Structure 1
Amino acid sequence: MMVGFYSQSFCGWMSFVCLAAAVALAGDTFSLGWEVIRLNSFGLGVDIFVDGVGLVFASIVLFIASSVFNFSGLYMGTSSHPIRFHGLLMSFVLSMIVFIFVPNLFGLMVGWDGLGIFSFLLVLFYPCHSSLSAGMITGLTNRLGDSFLMLVLLVNGLVYGGSSINGDCFGLVSFCLVIGAMTKSAQFPFCSWLPRAMAAPTPVSSLVHSSTLVTAGVFLIVRYHVSLSDSSLVMLQWASLITMALSGLNACVEFDMKKVVALSTLSQVSFMMFAVGVGFPFLAFFHLISHAVTKALLFICVGLVIMGYSQDLRRLGGSFLNVESVKWYFGGACAGLCGFPFFSGFYSKEMIIESVLYSNVGWLGFCLFSLGVLSTSYYSARLAFFCFFSGLLNSKRGGVSMFRYSGCMGEIRVHSFCLGLFILSVVLGGVGAWFFLCPPSMFPCHVSKALVMLCCPFGLWLFWLNSVNSSHCSKSSVLEGGYMMVFPKKNVISQNVGEVGDVKIREWKVLRESFVRELGFLDGFSGQPFVYAGLTLSEEVNSSLDQGWLEYFGPGGLSSCFKKFLDCNNYMSNHWFALFFIVYIFEVVIWVVTS
């Protein structure tokens, strides 16, 4: 446990140092270059670039890491390998720091690869089949993104003779850079690995989903935004819109608590990517840092709820209504996530939504964007309701005594790793908007202001109308409510509807639920084709090689031939006189016949 304590102290002090350095620089930059290798006109070097953006982000990352290390001491206290866990977690954080301060492609690959490798090892920390499957999907998808960045490094070195991007990127480099960032940030069609990564311990998920692995792609696009082509940014816009809609709808019907929070991360990262795609990279970065502290706090509270009772929302039943510390922290995180006035998430989301209203987004894009924004309020309210208030409808409070008397924590311990994140999630947005963006209002139109202000209350009203106001809370959702409006129950439909129509309705319902719950069937596409191809290849190899010609000409066949040869030699040695006499008679017969 000393490794976790020293890591917590180091991250806390370094967070303060980075924040102080950001204030001291006051908009200036500092850079340091070192050429590693030079081959004629081609050179590879490492550049260290220190500016206010990098220092602020590093300060947030280190502060979140300090809180996560404090929480992991409680959560992983019974683990059999705490030193290995905290060592991997610290390496993961250091890889993110390298990624932030080394902007050129050669040095950036060190932090980028470190994030992928250590995330793979952390997802595999629990020795079970689900962790192995999730780790393989996570590792392979991240290696795919690494290959695109390696291609960018290769092409950039052949064209410019260096490892730094200078000027505008032409088509191939720009597209490869965007696709690499999309794989790391789990954008469509690479979004299926992020919910699977929930097999990792909750402290790992808190870092991955708040400020490290998932946000690395966003930070990369923000860094190189001015160098990207318009066509690659358009591709990024539509990929982020599709991801935002699919993840938001999935979170509205999911009952696994950690998966709901993971899908909310997917939705928020898509929100940032869309802001960068439409030309607002600074607002995307502002939402990145405000979302980081909120999501870290939410994951820590989810970990406390899981430790106390269950991970299934349907089994909680308002279990933690009287646990004041967890209730307020959890409620504040949900409020910040959905952009409730005047939490940190409100300021960044308000600016981005208002800017999108005045951008050149088409009607289809605006509808997908609105669906993603409204679904955020819906699943945030749904998450808080099922954790704390769903049992009030049926006068049930299961799990309170288990949580209180399990002896797993105290009030002071909970405040130690939640209070700082809660304060930041409340004040960071207002302070950041005042400090970085001087004008309090970007656009003076009162209609757009009203629309932005009503997004969060409208989503909460939809949840109340659809779930809380219904007697069957565990079975209702936005999609099921819409389905019942289009396809009423059988006793409402005319009796002339035949059995064929009922079968088609059931098939459509199953198809619709599979589409929403599997992120547009991407869960199956990301895992099952590879498994099926591997099984088919193994069967062909077994039939053609192991049971085919390799059975006769391989090691097994050669061993059988040598064995038969040795048996024959042994027989000849044991019956040498009879064999000599037979050969002698055979030679005499041949001599008589030929003579």
Structure 2
Amino acid sequence: MSICKIYFSLFLVSSFLTFLLSIYFLILDFSLIIELNLLEFNSSSLVMSILFDWISLLFMSFVLFISSMVIFYSEEYMAGDIYLSRFILLVVMFVFSMMLLIISPNLISILLGWDGLGLVSYCLVIYYQNAKSFNAGMLTALSNRIGDVALLMCIAWMMNYGSWNYIYYLEFMKFDWIMGLISYLVVLAALTKSAQIPFSAWLPAAMAAPTPVSALVHSSTLVTAGVYLLIRFNFSFSENLMILLLFISSLTMFMSGLGANFEFDLKKIIALSTLSQLGLMLSILSLGDYYLAFFHLLIHALFKALLFMCAGSIIHNLGNCQDIRFMGGLINQMPLTCSFFNICNFSLCGVPFFSGFYSKDLIVEVMSMGILNVYIYLVFYLSIGLTVCYSFRLSYYTMTGDFNYLGLNSLSEYSFIMLKGMGGLILFVIFSGSLLMWLVFPVPFFVCLPFFLKLMALLMVSLGIWLGYCMAKLKLNYNLSSLDYLTLSSFLGSMWNLPIISGLGVNYYPIYSGEIYTKIFDQGWTEYYGGQNLGKNLSKFSKFLQLLSNNHLKVYFMLMVGWIFFLVLNIY
């Protein structure tokens, strides 16, 4: 039995059991904190706390289910890799780090899971070991380190409360300034992990990882860790912090939606759509509804995992080509993959009665009922339109028209293991919205809006389809590698120049000033008048002293002759 099948079976059974447990806990409205006494010495004890409630158990079941399907899918996708077992073990470590983060009510164990995610994600991003993946891995690791430092500072400040079990203090200490400081640091940590502005550049760069890793990272593990942490901490957030988070997340949602419309890399388009959905989750969380954020987090995890698996299947069949301009007419050669791809896109757009509709439509209607200002209202609806726009553009490029790659090709759908892995998710992508709605919201939402506002979401979806068609027909000859950042399209397409700011922008000036420092100090006049010249003079002086010590008899006789000569001169 291969390592893939072992972990697939283990994760699938664990997922089923945790799902049943979560339903049991949800029905009883029951939470359980288990304290494991790891070590006791005199009066000191080392305790590991574990939190089981319906949120942690339900999220765990989703993570385990998606990772089981991804591991099953990887057996064929990574079939040519001689280090397949190492790859699978890295993925398993990744999942276990996420598990540790989910079940921790304690900041120390959260940091262990958080750092585990950062470290293993670095190993997975640089898996193919080329210059591009090394750069992407370093950008990912360093961006996430900022969040790790923020969490370490939270741990230091939390010592004032006598325990690191934050779950006890969130509401009780809400108006304490130390808890306010901890809340700001937690938000900073979550912004880095969930790639919100200004830390967005690492998310598309991390596409250098193998596609199964992308499916796992973008659905239920790395990027959702920040959102999950904020869902746990949301009780302690002040109004000012909520407004700041709302502004940043809504801006990220809008920026990534615009960027995806100018991108031609298949995986990067899907990565930017993840960024847009993360912005949506954090926006509704900062509007005060963490239940809805969690609801969308779960549904998004399912369709985004399948979307990446479909993209991986397409890339696999096209000989590792990721440019959508070379695709076209794939519906004829890969009908099942394209059907899955389209269903996921419909779910992402919030087309009625697909799973994404149940969360996205509810989020937008709740936002419309408790409208904060015109900016938030416009950004939400424009972002929905842009999501539909880039999704339709992506479907148009990949599935319609003629095949634009090689005349001699062998496109096929004989990758049965990959198709089975994708088939395991498709029913959940279609039905999970309505099923979870019955579970998560036992009391239904009462939405009271005018007729025009009820139709607003459908209007924006229709407008997005039309705009996506126009964008695809234009076929903009737009090159991200060109240095002409002054044009509007390149500015929007390069995520408002964030990759330059956080990549070259961070590196360029320190390296440039280092060159100046080298010229002036290490190889310049300061070196001549400083260390280098001093060294030369000391060397000359020591050589002179060495000369004296080697010829001490001659020196003694010369001094004696000189002394006699001096005496004779004084006598006369």
Q: What TM bracket, shorter-length normalisation?
A: 0.7 to 0.9
- Decide which of 227, 231, 234 is 2:243's aligned counterpart: 234
**8 Å Cα contact 1:320/1:400 also seen in 2:** no
- Decide which of 413, 419, 424 is 2:417's aligned counterpart: 413
Counterpart Cα distance in 1 of 2:533 and 2:353? 74
The alpha-carbon deviation at position 569 of structure 1 amounts to 4.9
Aligned to 2:83: 81
Q: State the Cα deviation string for residues 341-385 of structure 1 (Å, max 9, x = none).
A: 221111111111111110132101111111111111111111111
User: 1:219 is aligned with what amino acid?
Assistant: Y
**8 Å Cα contact 2:355/2:433 also seen in 1:** yes
Quick one: structure 1 residues 594 and 159, their matched pair in 2 at CA, closer, same or farther if it must change by over 3 Å? farther
**8 Å Cα contact 1:181/1:216 also seen in 2:** yes
Residue 547 (structure 1) aligned with residue 552 (structure 2): no
**8 Å Cα contact 1:316/1:399 also seen in 2:** no
Aligned to 1:195: 204
Quick one: structure 1 residues 31 and 562, their matched pair in 2 at CA, closer, same or farther if it must change by over 3 Å? same
Question: Per the alignment, in what secondary structure is the counterpart of residue 402 of structure 1?
Answer: coil
**8 Å Cα contact 1:44/1:162 also seen in 2:** no
- Decide which of 454, 457, 460 is 1:452's aligned counterpart: 457
**8 Å Cα contact 1:46/1:106 also seen in 2:** no
The alpha-carbon deviation at position 442 of structure 1 amounts to 3.1
Quick one: structure 1 residues 214 and 396, their matched pair in 2 at CA, closer, same or farther if it must change by over 3 Å? closer
**8 Å Cα contact 2:72/2:417 also seen in 1:** no
Quick one: structure 1 residues 449 and 6, their matched pair in 2 at CA, closer, same or farther if it must change by over 3 Å? same
The alpha-carbon deviation at position 546 of structure 1 amounts to 3.5
- Decide which of 300, 304, 308 is 1:291's aligned counterpart: 300
The alpha-carbon deviation at position 570 of structure 1 amounts to 8.2
Taking only the aligned residue pairs, the percentage that are identical comes to 33
The alpha-carbon deviation at position 577 of structure 1 amounts to 8.8
- After TM superposition, the structure 1 = structure 2 runs for residues 38-77 of structure 1, keeping only pairs within 5 Å, are 45-77=47-79
TM-score with structure 2 setting the length: 0.88
Quick one: structure 1 residues 509 and 161, their matched pair in 2 at CA, closer, same or farther if it must change by over 3 Å? closer
Aligned to 2:346: 335
The alpha-carbon deviation at position 290 of structure 1 amounts to 0.6
Question: Per the alignment, in what secondary structure is the counterpart of residue 224 of structure 1?
Answer: helix
Question: Per the alignment, in what secondary structure is the counterpart of residue 404 of structure 1?
Answer: coil
Aligned to 2:117: 115
User: 1:547 is aligned with what amino acid?
Assistant: Q
Residue 353 (structure 1) aligned with residue 364 (structure 2): yes
Aligned to 1:429: 433
- Decide which of 486, 493, 504 is 1:510's aligned counterpart: 486
- After TM superposition, the structure 1 = structure 2 runs for residues 492-507 of structure 1, keeping only pairs within 5 Å, are none
Question: Per the alignment, in what secondary structure is the counterpart of residue 61 of structure 2?
Answer: helix
Counterpart Cα distance in 1 of 2:374 and 2:33? 44
Aligned to 2:411: 404
Counterpart Cα distance in 2 of 1:41 and 1:271? 48
- Decide which of 93, 96, 100 is 2:95's aligned counterpart: 93
The alpha-carbon deviation at position 559 of structure 1 amounts to 9.7
Residue 209 (structure 1) aligned with residue 218 (structure 2): yes
RMSD: 3.3
Quick one: structure 1 residues 24 and 218, their matched pair in 2 at CA, closer, same or farther if it must change by over 3 Å? same
Q: State the Cα deviation string for residues 449-472 of structure 1 (Å, max 9, x = none).
A: 3223343333213223x145x4x4
Aligned to 1:530: 506
User: 1:305 is aligned with what amino acid?
Assistant: I
Counterpart Cα distance in 2 of 1:386 and 1:516? 20
**8 Å Cα contact 2:143/2:202 also seen in 1:** yes
- Decide which of 126, 130, 133 is 2:132's aligned counterpart: 130
**8 Å Cα contact 2:382/2:460 also seen in 1:** no
The alpha-carbon deviation at position 36 of structure 1 amounts to 6.9
Counterpart Cα distance in 2 of 1:108 and 1:375? 35
Counterpart Cα distance in 2 of 1:38 and 1:155? 25
The alpha-carbon deviation at position 562 of structure 1 amounts to 6.0
User: Which of 314-323 and 373-382 deviates more?
Assistant: 314-323
Question: Per the alignment, in what secondary structure is the counterpart of residue 267 of structure 2?
Answer: helix
**8 Å Cα contact 2:371/2:377 also seen in 1:** no
Counterpart Cα distance in 2 of 1:181 and 1:227? 15
- Decide which of 156, 161, 166 is 1:164's aligned counterpart: 166
Aligned to 1:324: 335
Counterpart Cα distance in 2 of 1:383 and 1:565? 76
Question: Per the alignment, in what secondary structure is the counterpart of residue 33 of structure 2?
Answer: strand
Quick one: structure 1 residues 125 and 589, their matched pair in 2 at CA, closer, same or farther if it must change by over 3 Å? farther
User: 1:402 is aligned with what amino acid?
Assistant: N
The alpha-carbon deviation at position 535 of structure 1 amounts to 0.8
The alpha-carbon deviation at position 519 of structure 1 amounts to 2.0
User: Which of 11-20 and 419-428 deviates more?
Assistant: 11-20
User: Which of 373-382 and 162-171 deviates more?
Assistant: 162-171
Quick one: structure 1 residues 225 and 75, their matched pair in 2 at CA, closer, same or farther if it must change by over 3 Å? same
Counterpart Cα distance in 2 of 1:520 and 1:43? 51
- After TM superposition, the structure 1 = structure 2 runs for residues 256-267 of structure 1, keeping only pairs within 5 Å, are 256-267=265-276
Q: How many residues align structurally?
A: 555
User: 2:351 is aligned with what amino acid?
Assistant: F
Structure 1's unaligned 5+ residue stretches are: 477-506
**8 Å Cα contact 1:319/1:400 also seen in 2:** no
Residue 9 (structure 1) aligned with residue 9 (structure 2): yes
User: Which of 554-563 and 285-294 deviates more?
Assistant: 554-563
User: Which of 582-591 and 187-196 deviates more?
Assistant: 582-591
Aligned to 1:382: 393
Quick one: structure 1 residues 289 and 131, their matched pair in 2 at CA, closer, same or farther if it must change by over 3 Å? same
Counterpart Cα distance in 2 of 1:132 and 1:142? 15
Counterpart Cα distance in 1 of 2:536 and 2:219? 59
The alpha-carbon deviation at position 159 of structure 1 amounts to 4.1
The alpha-carbon deviation at position 415 of structure 1 amounts to 2.1
Counterpart Cα distance in 2 of 1:161 and 1:103? 11
Quick one: structure 1 residues 35 and 251, their matched pair in 2 at CA, closer, same or farther if it must change by over 3 Å? same
Q: State the Cα deviation string for residues 486-532 of structure 1 (Å, max 9, x = none).
A: xxxxxxxxxxxxxxxxxxxxx99834234312322222211223212
**8 Å Cα contact 1:344/1:426 also seen in 2:** yes
The alpha-carbon deviation at position 45 of structure 1 amounts to 4.6
**8 Å Cα contact 2:36/2:47 also seen in 1:** yes
**8 Å Cα contact 1:48/1:101 also seen in 2:** yes
User: 1:331 is aligned with what amino acid?
Assistant: N
Aligned to 1:494: none
Quick one: structure 1 residues 217 and 400, their matched pair in 2 at CA, closer, same or farther if it must change by over 3 Å? farther
Aligned to 1:370: 381
Counterpart Cα distance in 1 of 2:442 and 2:59? 20
User: 1:237 is aligned with what amino acid?
Assistant: L
User: 2:24 is aligned with what amino acid?
Assistant: A
Counterpart Cα distance in 2 of 1:320 and 1:562? 80
Aligned to 1:139: 141
Aligned to 1:486: none
Counterpart Cα distance in 2 of 1:304 and 1:563? 72
The alpha-carbon deviation at position 556 of structure 1 amounts to 11
Question: Per the alignment, in what secondary structure is the counterpart of residue 119 of structure 1?
Answer: helix
Counterpart Cα distance in 1 of 2:125 and 2:292? 31
Residue 252 (structure 1) aligned with residue 261 (structure 2): yes
Q: State the Cα deviation string for residues 201-259 of structure 1 (Å, max 9, x = none).
A: 21211111110111111111111222221111111111111001100000011111111
Counterpart Cα distance in 1 of 2:43 and 2:570? 85
Residue 225 (structure 1) aligned with residue 229 (structure 2): no
Counterpart Cα distance in 2 of 1:40 and 1:366? 59
Counterpart Cα distance in 2 of 1:509 and 1:555? 45
Question: Per the alignment, in what secondary structure is the counterpart of residue 253 of structure 1?
Answer: coil
Quick one: structure 1 residues 265 and 550, their matched pair in 2 at CA, closer, same or farther if it must change by over 3 Å? same
User: 1:356 is aligned with what amino acid?
Assistant: M
